[in-house]
Structure 1
Amino acid sequence: MSSTPRTPLARHRFRGPALVGTALLAAALTACSGGNSAGGGTDAKTPPPAQISVNLTGKDAKAGEPVQVTLAEGRLQEVTVTDSKGGTLDGKISDDGKSWTSERKVAPGTTYKVQAKDDKGRTATADFGTAAPEKVNKVDWKPGDKSTVGIAQPISLVFDHPVKNKAEVEKHLKVTTDNNTEGSWGWMEDYDGKTRVDWRPKEYWKPGTKVTLKADLNGVDSGGSGGWFVRDYETSMTIGKKQVVKVDLDNHRLKLYRDDELVKDIAMSAGTPGGDKASWSGKTVLMAKEGTINMNSETVGLGSSYNKMVDYSMRLTWSGMYAHAAPWNAAYFGNTNHSSGCIGMSDSDAKFVYDQVQIGDPFEVTGKDAKGTQALNNGYGEWNLSYDDWKAKSALNGQQ
């Protein structure tokens, strides 16, 4: 049985340095000299003003540029650039001490203060602001922060607006784990047509792995008409128990394994073979435990086949493939595939599975009665690609 269409689940710009509108700032600063000798004091003399230039000036400077501070003479000792939100841009002083360049680039609609100090103890300040963005791009990510998930759960980011600068965006997405898990980003068009990028490990996650995503996107340009990112994102997850659900369409059985040991063997009935009502095969991932929901065949192009409330609903695809309770189909459990695409079980068996499984558990569906392999973007279909084919979907493939 299939459900209503996809609904959302409980789911900073930078180019190479350029001198733009350089302003020369002369600052007479707090360096003083003087002293007393046995014969009396000497006249205190103020040193000549320190001179720095900053490549970004005014109130509408171009976003997506690094900040570059240049000293006319002497050597820079320290430079600090802070924004109106309390953030700081880190950077490096050149080997000759003449300039400092920020590691990150400035975000739109933000004011910045530059403070510089040279090797003679003189300081200088400068202020500038960036133009407001015409369009802001935002990110929706899965799973939720601090989630505990199954061994097949990817990190998935869906963007409000199209992303054309995929390589630039991907450079600012960093996944770290406590056990150096190998993995890769892969780009696709999401089921609803939006730009999406997922990160999956080479193999299923090791239970207990701690995973963190830092998306330093504030100031990154999406490219095209996608707009600017104006904030950073950070989220984390922990990998839970090793569980795999294996669905055998030909033998009409669903088996739940934990740590490679069989926990439960259940008689079921899947989609009717030979047409649109057949089930998808392949490695899919449990996306959500939705409980009791209304399922209406008209919303997924199956006419008036059904319209009913369904218990213990576990979503496997955006197109409406679920595992759930289907007591009306009891006569077919264990012997015939006779549903509208979903994996149906008795109330008690469905409740057992529902209570045991975790978001992110893999459901591995095999059998000739399938209508084909689940598509990459129809839920989390990335496990149906080899790791090499998955890595090829990274915008940085060959550049890393």
Structure 2
Amino acid sequence: MSRTRRVFSVRSRTAVAAGTALLAASLAACGGGAASGGAAKAEMKPKPDMAVSVNLTGDQVKAGAPVTVTIAEGKLAAVKVTDAKGGELAGQISADGKTWTSQGNALPSADYKVEAQNTDSQSATTTFKTSAPDKVNKVSINIPKGSTVGVAMPVSIVFDNPVKDKAAVEKQLKVTTSNNTEGSWGWITDYSGKDRVDWRPKEYWKSGTDVKVQMNLNGVDSGPGGGMFVKDYNTEFKIGKDREVKVDLDTKKATVTEGGQVVSTIPISAGTPGGKKASWDGKMVLMAKEGTIRMDSQTVGLGDSYDKMVDYSIRLTWSGMYVHAAPWNTANFGRANTSSGCVGMSDENAKAFFAAAQAGDPFEVVGQGSKGNPDVGNGYGEWNLTWEQWQGKSALAGTPQVG
């Protein structure tokens, strides 16, 4: 009589240890028979059950931790962890074949299936469910997908809620460039008071660089009071022409270069020296071309100094410094700094400057009569820090970051 073996997978009702799920698969031999000569053959000895434990178990598992699968005897050959939507957690088996650990975290509000197989071709399956997070954190990023920006534009991410575990979050952020640009993440406080992390190149970007930013934050816990991220984010952009602006408060002129060559010199009138109406100095960045906007001095703490519509406005700081047209100040262009902090120029010059400008162009102010550098989070002020100072603001300081 011929003999057959059936291999099947079952879920064990016995717990291996507190807080773990146990998977078991049994191999059994069917009943033996007698040989034609009447001598009984030895009965086949069944292999021991495959016992595998999973660190996450139950229907209300807290998300945000990697999945770990451990085999009690033998070695793992393959592990697959999938959710109900078909998403799979990638992972790796340890060198000794005893454990498998996912590279990412278990995501919130997900149904997971764990399938394991050992080197003896036994298999076992179990499931678990993660609960919804108590609080959700979200991000906003400064560069829309598909944009072209100037050579000084940093990648800037602002968080809705506090980020206490900055290292865990920063590990999930990746900048990839077409020319291996060296740069670093740095944590600062945004002008809004929220946590913010920027990626700044060591030097200004090279024109033509393609940049990809991946924020693999789904399932990452930002720490106490911050909540968990429930999605990934990404953006891609290109670095445009190398266009730089330098304003000299002493000569009352703005010099514009492209590719290192001077293309225009513009008479300007900057902030009134001394007090709140002085201009900021140092290295800033053209943040956004806002066009015609209403400027009200009461919104920036300057009382009733002005309230008017202003053309060709480009923002330099969150606190309200702009470069813009100022036809009411024509007599002072190239002669005196008399504005309320902005850099003004004629309508004709402002129109041409606005047309050629890119968000991300560096804008440096030098000379006497300023009120100093703006805070790092008041616009994009990281260029006023040395490279070493900026690197020190990374939660992973000392780790090479090449895009």
State the alpha-carbon separation in 1 of the partners of residues 135 and 252 from structure 2. Answer: 51
Partner of 2:137, secondary structure, is coil
Give the structure-2-normalised TM-score: 0.88
Q: 1:295–1:309: 8 Å Cα contact kept in structure 2? A: yes
Q: Which amino acid aligns with 1:116?
A: A
Unmatched runs of 5 consecutive residues or more in structure 2: 1-16, 31-35
Q: Which moved more, 1:121-130 or 1:178-187?
A: 121-130
Relative distance call for 1:32 and 1:312 in structure 2 (3 A) is farther
Shift of 1:71: 2.4
Matched, 1:63 2:63: yes
Shift of 1:85: 3.7
Aligned to 1:203: 203
* 1:11-62 Cα shifts (integer Å, max 9, x gaps): xxxxxxxx86112122358x999xxxxx9xx999996653322121111123
Shift of 1:114: 0.9
Relative distance call for 1:346 and 1:44 in structure 2 (3 A) is farther
Aligned to 1:11: none
Q: Which amino acid aligns with 2:383?
A: W
Aligned to 1:128: 128
Q: How does 1:311-330 map to 2 (within 5 A)?
A: 311-330=311-330
Aligned to 2:226: 226
Paired residue total? 374
Relative distance call for 1:58 and 1:259 in structure 2 (3 A) is same
Partner of 2:354, secondary structure, is helix
Shift of 1:147: 1.3
Q: Which moved more, 1:220-229 or 1:98-107?
A: 98-107
Q: 1:20–1:55: 8 Å Cα contact kept in structure 2? A: no
Give the structure-1-normalised TM-score: 0.89
Aligned to 2:52: 52
Q: Which moved more, 1:246-255 or 1:61-70?
A: 61-70
Q: How does 1:176-195 map to 2 (within 5 A)?
A: 176-195=176-195
* 1:55-82 Cα shifts (integer Å, max 9, x gaps): 2111112322221112233322111111
State the alpha-carbon separation in 1 of the partners of residues 104 and 278 from structure 2. Answer: 51
Aligned to 1:27: 25
Q: Which amino acid aligns with 2:106?
A: V
* 1:78-116 Cα shifts (integer Å, max 9, x gaps): 111112343221111122323211122212222211111
Matched, 1:107 2:96: no
Q: How does 1:159-174 map to 2 (within 5 A)?
A: 159-174=159-174
Q: Which moved more, 1:275-284 or 1:20-29?
A: 20-29
Relative distance call for 1:129 and 1:155 in structure 2 (3 A) is same
* 1:172-199 Cα shifts (integer Å, max 9, x gaps): 1111212111111111111010000111
Aligned to 1:383: 383
Shift of 1:399: 5.7
Deviating 4+ runs (over 4 angstroms): 42-49
State the alpha-carbon separation in 1 of the partners of residues 249 and 172 from structure 2. Answer: 42
Q: Which amino acid aligns with 2:243?
A: Q
Shift of 1:377: 0.9
Question: Which of structures 1 and 2 has the larger relative contact order (alpha carbons within 8 angstroms, sep 6+)?
Answer: 1
Partner of 1:77, secondary structure, is strand
Shift of 1:258: 0.2
State the alpha-carbon separation in 2 of the partners of residues 62 and 316 from structure 1. Answer: 43
Aligned to 1:394: 394
Unmatched runs of 5 consecutive residues or more in structure 1: 1-18, 34-38
State the alpha-carbon separation in 1 of the partners of residues 53 and 214 from structure 2. Answer: 33
Partner of 1:341, secondary structure, is coil
Relative distance call for 1:130 and 1:253 in structure 2 (3 A) is same
State the alpha-carbon separation in 1 of the partners of residues 284 and 161 from structure 2. Answer: 27
Q: 1:20–1:56: 8 Å Cα contact kept in structure 2? A: no
Matched, 1:145 2:148: no
Q: 1:209–1:238: 8 Å Cα contact kept in structure 2? A: yes
State the alpha-carbon separation in 2 of the partners of residues 48 and 168 from structure 1. Answer: 41
Question: Larger Cα Rg: Structure 1 or Structure 2?
Answer: 2
Shift of 1:392: 1.0
Q: Which amino acid aligns with 1:150?
A: G
Aligned to 1:74: 74
State the alpha-carbon separation in 2 of the partners of residues 45 and 210 from structure 1. Answer: 63
State the alpha-carbon separation in 1 of the partners of residues 185 and 376 from structure 2. Answer: 13
